[in-house]
Chains A and B, each alone.
Chain A
């Protein structure tokens, strides 16, 4: 059964720093991996989707990588800003779970001004 883990559960860094959020999964039989952000009391915003055949995707200051063989993905945020404060969730679309997303518990990120 697929399990997705995000470490750390919470992270607080000063503004301007580059940072990395981690996501690991136990079964490499996935269609894709998606990173989302969720602001308090709000819905989820899709940030990046990496298909299983891809190694990375970039959008602005965000870069997500995927290493299926080691079951890992990272979300790199460059030059962090207070507006980046949110909870970041990763989710994999697993081949064995009827196209459902399997979610990590999220990393709560706080960027201090």
Chain B
């Protein structure tokens, strides 16, 4: 099973709303990632959790708040977003965290389409 599951698949939210994106994997992977992808562009890294600790925050605005409750779950809390934050948000995971990068196949979920109105 190489599945990363993301919910919801689609989300429309107003600029004053608070919502969350959820991600789950049961492959025993110890690194989990959030990426943002705009149309016809490659994904942009937002956050990396390695062994449930936030390892990388790519200068993402504080209106995006990640959370890793346990080794299988990753959340992205959204608050006071702007229309330009509308994008496909992708969750990913890989096996070894940063201790074994060479063989680290990264598996992506199907993504959550976010529209901010």
Contact = CB atoms under 8 A, between A and B. Distances in A.
Interface of A: 31-32, 34, 36, 41-46, 49, 51-53, 89, 91, 93, 98-101, 103-106
B106 interface: yes
Interface residues on B, range: 20 to 34
Contact of A32 (B90, B103, B108): B103
8 contacts: A32-B102, A32-B104, A43-B110, A44-B43, A44-B90, A46-B108, A99-B101, A101-B45
The 9 A-B pairs at the shortest CB distance, nearest first, are namely A103-B42, A44-B108, A43-B110, A31-B101, A43-B111, A49-B105, A51-B102, A43-B108, A31-B102
Interface of A is mostly: strand
Contacts of B15: none
Contacts of B2: 46
B109 A49 contact: no
B52 to A, nearest CB: 17
Interface of B: 2, 4, 6, 41-43, 45, 48, 56, 88, 90, 92, 98, 101-111, 113
A112 to B, nearest CB: 21
Given A41-B88, A105-B41, 16 more contacts: A31-B102, A32-B101, A32-B103, A34-B105, A41-B113, A43-B4, A43-B110, A43-B111, A45-B108, A46-B2, A46-B108, A51-B102, A51-B103, A52-B102, A91-B42, A106-B42
A101 B101 CA distance: 11
A50 to B, nearest CB: 10
Contacts of A32: 101-104
